[in-house]
Chains A and B, each alone.
Chain A
Amino acid sequence: MSSLAPKLCVADVSMTFQTPTGAFHALAPITLSIPQGRFVSLIGPSGCGKTTIFNIIAGLLEPTGGRVLIDGIDATGTIGRVGYMLQKDLLLPWRTVLDNVILGMEIQHVPLRAARERALPLLHRYGLAGFEYLYPNALSGGMRQRAALLRTLLFDTDVILLDEPFGALDAQTKLRMQEWLLQLWSDFNKTVLFVTHDVEEAIYLSDEVHVMGTRPGRIIANIPVPLARPRIRGSVLTGEFLAIKERCLELLHLEGTASEQINEAA
């Protein structure tokens, strides 16, 4: 396949839900093109269709229009092509952390023994040493997210989708998890699509940030983040960073007032 083809391409994807109260236009045609190895964030108000896009990319939802291409090949409506970390960690309470983490490999018929052997060193290296044989209910929120993320990574796809993975964590833990995620990303060379509410988080982590608007969900701006990597925490206070942040907040604010006006008119 051509190295010029983007890793993941969302081509004119739109979605209309049939609800009891009528058709609900959730996504306007949306186009995203993401090269191999990029870290791209989607930010936008709640209900703008971020999770819907992810469900479509993961093949869990058939879009009413458009296509999803992975490596230039049509992957619309096919499952198991991308790693998807849903908004909840969804660790299975009857499995140990180790056995949760290998779920993807197990489903792909990797022998249990081999799967565990592959997972153990990663659990050790990425902060879950000593937790391998515990059950998820013994884990803190941050640890659960680590386990869920490693499960997604060990599924071993080039593209991974992360839906608000740190949304429920406290501020301290969140910062640590961001560093941890960047470490993983540079170690594994994955293409990441990341959803968050947190503008600073989006900019700090990403190569580009897509700002979304609502009613119907659509992308209103694509903002590149040309900050050098590896990034340091202090960079969130630089003028360059703040300028990008201001731009994003402004776009979100404009979008917010616009949709309020639509609501009032409606």
Chain B
Amino acid sequence: MAVQDTSPSVGPMASLDRGQASVQSARPAAKPVRRLPVQKDWRAWALISAQIGILIGGLSLWEIGARAGWIDAFFWSQPSAIAQTMAIFFGSGDAWTDISFTFRSTIFGFLIGTTAGSLLGLSFWWSRNYAAIVQPYVICLESIPKLALAPLIILVFGIGLLSKVAVATALTLVVSTLTANAGVKALDPDGEKLFYSLGASRLQVFRKLVVPFCLPWIISVLRVNIGLALTGAIVGEFIASQHGLGRAILYAGQTYDIALVWVAVLVLSTLAMVMYATVSWVESMLRKGVRQ
């Protein structure tokens, strides 16, 4: 193709034929050559070694720092002391009582709050009037910082397991209610029409349409709720309790036993991770069951 026209052109052929001068006037300086950045993935063992290396390095620095006096071991403790305290903690038998107490408060609160909340959220499907009356209260409850009510809950339910379960329930209930209700609101009215056109009763629509449709919503808050329930249980123990990892942390802090604080926090984190992983697994099983 011969380029004979005199009109200014910025096409690639034009630049070939016209020479450099005109190209430079039409374009800014040539772009630098740039390639797509490529990241090479490390192998799994390399990644894990790096992670373990960082952990060991960090702990060693901490230990050395504490011994050399760069870190105040009174406030920060040190890994060797923490390991010793850990052995004592598990040896004395208190560990299992505390773990079991916190575990039970969390699980009961989680189950009660999630179940009751989901049922409450689903119940709004049944009556528009009932929903219109009750929903504002739920939204108010949502906006209250429920942990601020914890002292009151402890007063009412006592310092035993029940009050921790109650705090955990209070935290999880509202979340589940709102989420299940969001599911109900997202329901396609045409889906209900289909069921009614087939002569369905309200109960049939609820069981065969509303519940299965909302299940993914309900499932989606399980992981959030297990975290909230644990928070509720710990805060309950902070306020007044005779057992539990939360109480162990508070007690150790008050007696300046910083190593014990670390131990309790570590055990608590492990408990949290185990519960979180279990709930994630349950969630993925449920999702497979629901198939959405």
Contact = CB atoms under 8 A, between A and B. Distances in A.
A117 to B, nearest CB: 19
B197 A80 contact: yes
A103 B196 CA distance: 11
B41 interface: no
B204 A107 contact: yes
Interface string B201-221: 000100011001101000000
A84 B197 CA distance: 6
A135 B291 CA distance: 8
Interface stretch (A27-35, A86-94, A177-185): A86-94
Contacts of A84: 194, 197
A94 B292 contact: yes
Nearest to B215: A94
Contacts of B191: 90, 92
A106 B209 CA distance: 13
Nearest to B197: A84
Contact of A58 (B197, B209, B212, B215): B197
A198 to B, nearest CB: 22
Interface string B228-248: 000000000000000000000
A56 to B, nearest CB: 12
A194 interface: no
Contacts of A88: 188, 190
Interface in A83-139: 83-84, 86-88, 90, 92-94, 103-104, 106-108, 135
Contact of B200 (A87, A92, A107, A135): A107
Given A92-B209, A92-B212, A94-B291, A86 B198 contact: no
Contacts of B197: 58-60, 79-80, 82-84, 86
Interface string A56-70: 001110000000000
A167 to B, nearest CB: 15
Contacts of B290: 94
A52 interface: no
Contacts of A87: 190
B89 interface: no
> Which one of A80, A84, A86, A94 has the greatest number of beta carbons of chain B within 10 Å?
A94
Interface residues of A, number: 24
> Which one of A55, A87, A88, A107 has the greatest number of beta carbons of chain B within 10 Å?
A107
Interface string A8-28: 000000000000000000000
Interface string A123-160: 00000000000010000000000000000000100000
Given A55-B193, A86-B190, A93-B291, A155 B198 contact: yes
B198 to A, nearest CB: 4
Nearest to B212: A94
A83 B194 CA distance: 10
Interface string B142-176: 00000000000000000000000000000000000
A195 to B, nearest CB: 15
A103 B291 contact: no
A108 to B, nearest CB: 7
Contacts of A92: 191, 209, 212
Contacts of B198: 79-80, 103-104, 107-108, 155
A79 B202 CA distance: 12
A155 B199 CA distance: 10
B195 interface: yes
Top 3 nearest A-B pairs (CB, nearest first) are A80-B199, A84-B197, A104-B198
Interface of B: 188, 190-191, 193-200, 204, 208-209, 212-213, 215, 290-292
7 contacts: A55-B193, A60-B196, A93-B291, A103-B198, A107-B195, A107-B199, A135-B291
